[in-house]
Structure 1
Amino acid sequence: MDIRISFSSPESGFHWSDLLPYTPHLLWALFFASVFFIVGPRTIRSAFSRATKLGFAGVELELSGEVQEVAEARDITLPAGLRDQLVRRMKTIGPMLRSSRILWIDDNPSNNIPEIGILRKLGVLIDFAKTDEEARKKMEGAIYDIVITDMGRANDGEAGAKLLPELLSSISSPFVIFYVGAQRDTPCGAFGLTTRPDELLNLILDATERRRG
């Protein structure tokens, strides 16, 4: 008995060999489907939410993830809309920050490590001062675009406000931003005051845009 199996039918005109050119595409589709079911949609969404990147000078900063981590370090809930708006601004204005110089006055600089990390990855040069006297010496020896300062130092809860006139009258005439622990009125002459890291970054972008513009 002669049994022959054929994968084509003259009547239908269909040939399995017609599928051969599409085999690589089918294999890739099966691969991605397998990854989706193994890893899970939530993990994939999380990865894509952190995928917005900004790169210059060989450095890729995962902006969305970095900003979210800074907010979490301050126990602040940052809505996705505000985060995305900040990311877009950093994409547009961020390159102007490169080689900008900031003096950061705080008697506990370790409190600001996450924010400092983002600024350094953007190419900002940052000097630090723990006391008013140290800040004065720094201001005499360098030109700063922006000064970030806390309000209270040592036993003086108004130290930052008292130093403000000296900062504004210095040769570099920097924008002064207060980064404080509790909301209060912005001292006269300061560029801004905030308790939030996202607002701090926006103020820095505002000051940079104004100075460079």
Structure 2
Amino acid sequence: MTVQQWVDSILRLVGHLVSWPVVTLVIVIIFRRRIISALSALTGRARSASVGPLSVEFDEVAVEALQDTVRQAVQEPGADPTRLADFLGEQISKMTGQSSKRDDESFPGSRILWADDNLRHHLFEVNYLHRLGVDLEKASTTTQALQALDSGRFDLVISDMHRVEDGTEEPRAGLKLLREMRSGRRRTPLIFYTSNAVPFQGDEEISAYGATVTDTTSDLFAEIRRTLRRQPEDA
């Protein structure tokens, strides 16, 4: 079986695993090594794959980030196989949306602060940034994010919108962070990465700060690259 066929099979397998809970454990155990092997082979020239009726060209950095993500996910002790399959399906689908342009681009020395109370859900994105050479610092609350901003220079801040802070649901925690950044005259570029960007598109506070909002991985990476490319010129 070719690499392309393996990726196609993996995508279809992960998509159906949750429907077959009785055999999920067996399938994951049998296939986890083969999944890793197939993804490890998807480098260099073999960066395209058939996904159903479509032919997909993958961003080489995204392929490497997905390899890292799969290895980390399947090696977690006591991982529930059904949830693992669902998680891998989400991570693989993120990779398929990436453009193959500018594979050789990297940003060593760039610093990003990511405020999110559940970054494991974004394991692929985190690994992608690491592959770009980014120094990534994590904060799970607005307070931690502000402390980090006070203690060092960052080229970019990424924030979710909804967080649990001090045991309380904060649906607009991201906006709270933005307001604090504005009041402290911090002008660090800010990207909101949220599950639903629509309610915040055209928000006056976000526009006034010059921040952006997205709910897609491809737009997130594109905005990160645009922002980090501008840093040397602005320094």
Q: TM-score, normalised by structure 2?
A: 0.57
How far the C-alpha of 1:78 sits from its partner, in A, is 6.8
**CA deviation string 1:14-55 (max 9, x = no partner):** xxxxxxxxxxxxxxxxxxxxxxxxx559559988964269xx
Q: State how 1:48-197 maps to structure 2 within 5 Å.
A: 50-51=43-44, 62-63=60-61, 65-66=63-64, 72-74=89-91, 76=93, 83=98, 86-91=99-104, 94-95=105-106, 97-154=107-164, 155-168=169-182, 170=184, 173-184=187-198, 185-186=200-201, 187-188=206-207, 189-197=209-217
Of 119-128 and 142-151, more deviation after overlay is shown by 119-128
Which deviations, in whole Å up to 9, do the C-alpha atoms of 1:49-102 show, x marking residues without a partner?
64269xxxxxxx9425247778952574776xx63xx331343xx23x211001
Kept in 2, the 8 Å contact 1:143–1:172? The answer is no
The Cα shift of 1:139 comes to 0.9
**What is the Cα-based RMSD across aligned positions, in Å?**
3.3
Give the Cα–Cα distance (whole angstroms) in 2 for the partners of residues 167 and 90 of structure 1: 33
Question: Per the alignment, do residues 72 and 63 of structure 1 end up closer, same or farther by CA in structure 2, a change over 3 Å counting?
Answer: farther
Equivalent AA in structure 2 for residue 212 of structure 1: P
Q: Contact conserved, 1:67 with 1:198, CA < 8 A, in 2?
A: no
Look up the SS of the partner of 1:87 in the other structure: coil
Task: Give the aligned partner of residue 200 of structure 1.
Answer: 220
Please list every run of at least 4 consecutive aligned residues from structure 1 whose deviation after the TM superposition is greater than 6 angstroms.
Answer: 44-49, 67-71
> Structure 1 CA distance, aligned partners of 2:154 and 2:2?
48
Aligned to 1:177, the other structure's residue is in SS state: strand
Structure 2 residue identity aligned to 1:51: G
Q: TM-score, normalised by structure 1?
A: 0.62
Q: Distance in 2 between matches of 1:151 and 1:43?
A: 38
**Hey, what's the Cα distance between the residues in 1 that align with 2:91 and 2:6?**
26
Q: Which structure would you say has the larger Rg? A: 1
Structure 1 gap segments, 5+ residues each:
1-38, 54-60
Paired residues in the alignment total 161
Query: How much has 1:128 moved relative to structure 2?
Result: 0.8
